[in-house]
């Protein structure tokens, strides 16, 4: 037993670099969680590079692993990290086949206690177009009705500004408590940030179950410190940070994961 939780984390593994489990497992461990990773794929590197090689775990292979755990009574997890972040797509493009959207909508979302979509995923799951804060808040309300009591739209771009919108419906049928965090957009494209963000939101919201705004402030603070370090390191190495997606400096940011300094505050609606 652990006083924080045991997390079963079903995500991608990359040999080099930090996306999926590579960006989620280490921070959760630093926050004191036991984390058991299942690697849904094992790729040489993330798919933003010119090429990648590797294997995909099929449904039977996933079932085998779960059956092995079950046969030894080892399925005593407090959290499953995968239903949280739908990882369906971004920037107007789907990573998953269009046919899977309704599977997420009908089967996966109702099982999740917390959902952390980006703008595009929130649009796909609700059918709304999100062009304003009001639209974001309405999307959260629709997603609550589908199941999850906690929803964090991790990034909405409105007029060059990044906006996070959080929403906690403390009881079914009640009006959700909503907040926003305004984030200065760093002019670069990072990979692994969504997976890291979701892991941190899980880690902190489990420690502060009634303060989703505080959990989001802590997660955003870690992200901002880590992204600044990443940008600085690339610039110092003489690299143009706008030229391709940057690998995050995860290990170098462990102090910012353990003890984030909150600079961006959540504003309650």
The residue within the footprint of ligand PLP, chosen from 5, 9, 10, 46 (CB under 6 A), is 46
135, 195, 213, 256: which one is catalytic?
195
Contact of residue 223 among Mg ion, ligand ATP, Na ion, none (CB under 5-8 Å per partner type): ligand ATP
Q: Is 87 in the site for ligand ATP (CB under 6 A)?
A: yes
- Dihedral sign for Cα 256, 259, 264, 266, please: positive
CB of 163 to Mg ion, least distance (A): 13
The smaller minimum CB distance to ligand ATP, of residues 66 and 94, is found at 94
Q: Is 116 in the site for ligand PLP (CB under 6 A)?
A: no
Nearest-CA neighbor of 261 among 202, 221, 220?
A: 221
At 191, list the tokens: 């990979």
Q: How many CB atoms lie within 10 A of CB 244?
A: 14
Query: Rule CB under 6 A: which of 88-117 touch ligand ATP?
Result: 90
CB of 183 to ligand ATP, least distance (A): 5
How many chain residues interact with Na ion (CB under 5 A)? 4
- Dihedral sign for Cα 96, 100, 105, 111, please: negative
Cα dist from 180 to 86, 156, 214, whole Å: 21, 11, 11
Q: Name the H helices within the chain.
A: 21-30, 59-71, 100-103, 119-126, 133-146, 193-207, 212-236, 254-258
Query: Rule CB under 5 A: which of 23-82 touch Mg ion?
Result: none
Query: Rule CB under 5 A: which of 124-163 touch Na ion?
Result: 154
Query: Rule CB under 6 A: which of 18-57 touch ligand ATP?
Result: none
DSSP line for 35-81: EEEEEEEEESS-TTSS---EEE--HHHHHHHHHHHHHTT----SEEE
Contact of residue 48 among ligand PLP, ligand ATP, Na ion, none (CB under 5-8 Å per partner type): ligand PLP
CB of 75 to ligand ATP, least distance (A): 26
Piece of the chain touching ligand ATP by CB under 6 A; list 53-61, 84-92, 138-146, 251-259? 84-92
CB of 192 to ligand PLP, least distance (A): 5
267 DSSP β-pair partners? 180
Question: Taking a C-beta distance cutoff of 8 angstroms, is the pair 197, 223 a contact?
Answer: yes
Q: Is 164 in the site for ligand ATP (CB under 6 A)?
A: yes
Torsion angle in degrees (nearest 10) through CA of 151, 112, 209, 204: -80
Q: Is 118 in the site for Na ion (CB under 5 A)?
A: yes
CB of 47 to ligand PLP, least distance (A): 4
Q: Residue 67, class by beta-carbon neighbours within 10 Å (0-12 exposed, 13-18 middle, 19+ buried)?
A: exposed
Active site residue 36: no
Query: Rule CB under 6 A: which of 172-191 touch ligand ATP?
Result: 183, 185-186, 188, 190
- Cα-atom radius of gyration of the chain, to the nearest Å? 18
Binding site for Mg ion (CB under 5 A): 87, 90, 118, 194-195
Q: Which residues bind Na ion (CB under 5 A)?
A: 116, 118, 154, 194
Q: Could you list the active site residues?
A: 195
């Amino acid at each position: 037993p652990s006083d924080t939780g045991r997390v079963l984390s079903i995500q991608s593994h990359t040999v080099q670099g930090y996306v999926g489990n590579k960006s989620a497992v280490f921070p959760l461990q630093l926050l004191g969680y036991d984390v058991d990773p299942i690697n849904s794929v094992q790729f040489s590197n993330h798919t933003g590079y010119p090429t990648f090689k590797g294997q995909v775990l099929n449904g039977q292979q996933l079932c085998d692993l779960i059956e092995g755990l079950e046969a030894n009574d080892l399925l005593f997890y407090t959290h499953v990290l995968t239903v949280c972040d739908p990882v369906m797509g971004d920037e107007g493009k789907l990573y998953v086949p269009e046919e899977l959207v309704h599977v997420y909508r009908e089967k996966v979302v109702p099982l999740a206690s917390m959902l952390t979509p980006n703008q595009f995923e929130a649009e796909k799951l609700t059918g709304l177009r999100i062009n304003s804060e009001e639209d974001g808040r309405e999307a959260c309300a629709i997603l609550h009705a589908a199941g999850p009591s906690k929803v964090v739209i991790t990034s909405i771009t409105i007029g060059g500004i990044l906006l996070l919108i959080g929403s906690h419906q403390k009881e079914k049928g009640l009006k959700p408590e909503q907040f926003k965090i305004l984030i200065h957009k760093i002019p670069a494209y990072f990979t692994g940030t969504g997976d890291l963000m979701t892991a941190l939101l899980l880690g902190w919201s489990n420690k502060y179950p009634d303060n989703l705004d505080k959990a989001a402030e802590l997660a955003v603070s870690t992200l901002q410190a880590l992204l600044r370090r990443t940008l600085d390191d690339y610039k110092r190495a003489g690299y143009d940070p706008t030229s391709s997606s940057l690998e995050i400096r995860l290990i170098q940011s462990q102090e910012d994961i353990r003890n984030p300094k909150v600079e961006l505050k959540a504003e309650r609606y």
